[in-house]
Amino acid sequence: MGSPGNAAPNSEPTPPTPQSAPPADAAPPHVLPAPATEAGREGLSALLSHPERTVIALDFDGTLADIVPDPEKARARPGAVAALGRLVPRLRAAAVITGRPATVAVRLGAFDSAPGLDRLTVLGHYGAERWEATTRTVHAPPPHPGIAAIQAELPGVLDASGVWRGTWVETAIERKGGRAIAIHTRRATDPQSAFERLRGPLAALAERHGLIVEPGRLVLELRPPGMDKGVALADWIHETGAATVLYAGDDLGDLAAFAAVEKLRSEGLTGTLVCSGSKEVTELAERADLVVDGPTGVVGLLGALADRLAADNP
Ligand SMILES: O=P(O)(O)OC[C@H]1O[C@H](O[C@H]2O[C@H](CO)[C@@H](O)[C@H](O)[C@H]2O)[C@H](O)[C@@H](O)[C@@H]1O
């Protein structure tokens, strides 16, 4: 390389090399956000230095998918699956852990047709169901007998509550493949008040039939006991033999997974807890190492991790 000292005499100044400007429609580069806690920084640093020992696990609704009024219309946020497809091949494994039936999450996320997701596991119904990308098959326990009884009694309970009446009641009920039943109040006239008014009657109904109520974002879900995202996540992490985990969630059902990571950290695992932030739920933000701006922020984080790992190991 030349220097001013050995430039040819009387030569014209070299014009600056033209910098190629990014195309006007290019996506801005992802910026890797910094966790607010020491544990989170350790977790992220371990992920970046040893991705082959790291697993990531993500919730679906509110984390990979925007919240929408009709649960059937939820889809993985644009860019989410592509970012996962770039990131997951560099990691030990990845999982989506969701309250949805596993096959529904696979369909809404289009996880089965996405390149790079060969090592994805989807744990549905809070971990009771399992779908593997390698086999594309689902393992599920038999339906709890209480679900059929609840299906029969539910219209009467909703009608008696005065919250939902007549044919509109059907827009509130999500039947979840006959293995759980979710009652949504997002489309009620006053969603929060409907949620509060239904809480007691639905808890009593669930208890009569040996089920539990899982509260979520304007949803009360009646489901079998004995499994939660914490149990599902801890079992899956042990199975993978991972030393580091990143977990991201947005709702109350994700608190069990947060607790599992906190316990595993006390036993020597490194981990980062990410909250997909919203105004509807604040409990996770208080315990997270990193709060991002909903599913948009989650996509940014996944993209930034993929970019960084690609830059470090082209
Ligand atoms: O564990 P997740 O993947 O977060 O699933 C939990 C529940 O999420 C779904 O409901 C939520 O998303 C809907 C679509 O955006 C929204 O309409 C609803 O208000 C939210 O609560 C899903 O429909 C439930 O079955 C899941 O249990």
pLDDT digits (tens, 9 = 90+) for 23-52: 555 666 778 999 999 999 999 999 999 999
Range of the domain at 97: 38-141+226-312
Nearest one of 168, 88, 80, 98 to 138, comparing CA atoms: 98
Name the pLDDT band for 21 (thresholds 50, 70, 90).
low
Provide the domain count of the chain: 2
Q: What is the CATH number of the domain that holds 252?
A: 3.40.50.1000
Q: Is 163 in the same domain as 262?
A: no
What is the residue with the minimal CA distance to atom 23 of ligand 1? 71
Model pLDDT, residue 14:
41
214 belongs to a structural domain: yes
Q: What are the φ/ψ torsions at residue 110 (nearest 5 degrees)? A: 55, 40
5 belongs to a structural domain: no
Q: Is 300 in the same domain as 275?
A: yes
Q: Which two tokens stand for residue 21?
A: 């400007």
16 belongs to a structural domain: no
What is the residue with the minimal CA distance to atom 20 of ligand 1? 217
pLDDT tens digit sequence for 146-178: 999 999 999 889 888 888 765 566 789 999 999
Mean pLDDT score, 217-232: 97
Q: What distance in Å separates the CA atoms of residue 210 and residue 17, rounded to the nearest whole number?
A: 73
Output the CA 66–ligand 1 centroid distance in Å. Answer: 10
Point out the domain boundary residue: 200, 223, 246: 223
- Strands 120-124 and 93-97 come out as parallel
Model pLDDT, residue 65:
98
Q: Which two tokens stand for residue 28?
A: 């801005």
What is the residue with the minimal CA distance to atom 8 of ligand 1? 61
Based on C-alpha coordinates, what's the Rg of the chain? 23
Q: What distance in Å separates the CA atoms of residue 76 and residue 91, rounded to the nearest whole number?
A: 21
Point out the domain boundary residue: 168, 203, 223: 223
Q: What are the φ/ψ torsions at residue 258 (nearest 5 degrees)? A: -60, -45
pLDDT tens digit sequence for 71-116: 999 999 999 999 999 999 999 999 999 999 999 999 999 999 899 9
Mean pLDDT score, 130-137: 96
Q: What distance in Å separates the CA atoms of residue 272 and residue 199, rounded to the nearest whole number?
A: 33
Q: Which two tokens stand for residue 250?
A: 């947005």
Output the CA 217–ligand 1 centroid distance in Å. Answer: 7
Nearest one of 138, 108, 134, 136 to 123, comparing CA atoms: 138
pLDDT tens digit sequence for 256-305: 999 999 999 999 999 999 999 999 999 999 999 999 999 999 999 999 99
Cβ proximity of 100 and 128 under 8 Å? no
Task: Provide, rounded to the nearest whole percent, the portion of the chain with pLDDT above 90.
Answer: 82
28 belongs to a structural domain: no
31 belongs to a structural domain: no
Q: Indicate the residue type of 279.
A: K
Output the CA 191–ligand 1 centroid distance in Å. Answer: 14
Q: Is 259 in the same domain as 179?
A: no
Looking from the CA of residue 70, the nearest atom of ligand 1 is: 17
Output the CA 98–ligand 1 centroid distance in Å. Answer: 9
18 belongs to a structural domain: no
The predicted model scores a pTM of: 0.91
Model pLDDT, residue 168:
64
Q: Is 232 in the same domain as 137?
A: yes
Q: Which two tokens stand for residue 120?
A: 């994805």
Q: Is 233 in the same domain as 136?
A: yes
Q: Which two tokens stand for residue 131?
A: 């779908």
9 belongs to a structural domain: no
Q: What distance in Å separates the CA atoms of residue 73 and residue 186, rounded to the nearest whole number?
A: 14
Point out the domain boundary residue: 159, 191, 223: 223
Give residues (CB < 6 A) around ligand 1: 59-62, 67-69, 71, 74, 98-100, 174, 176, 182, 184, 186, 216-219, 221, 251, 253
What is the residue with the minimal CA distance to atom 14 of ligand 1? 71
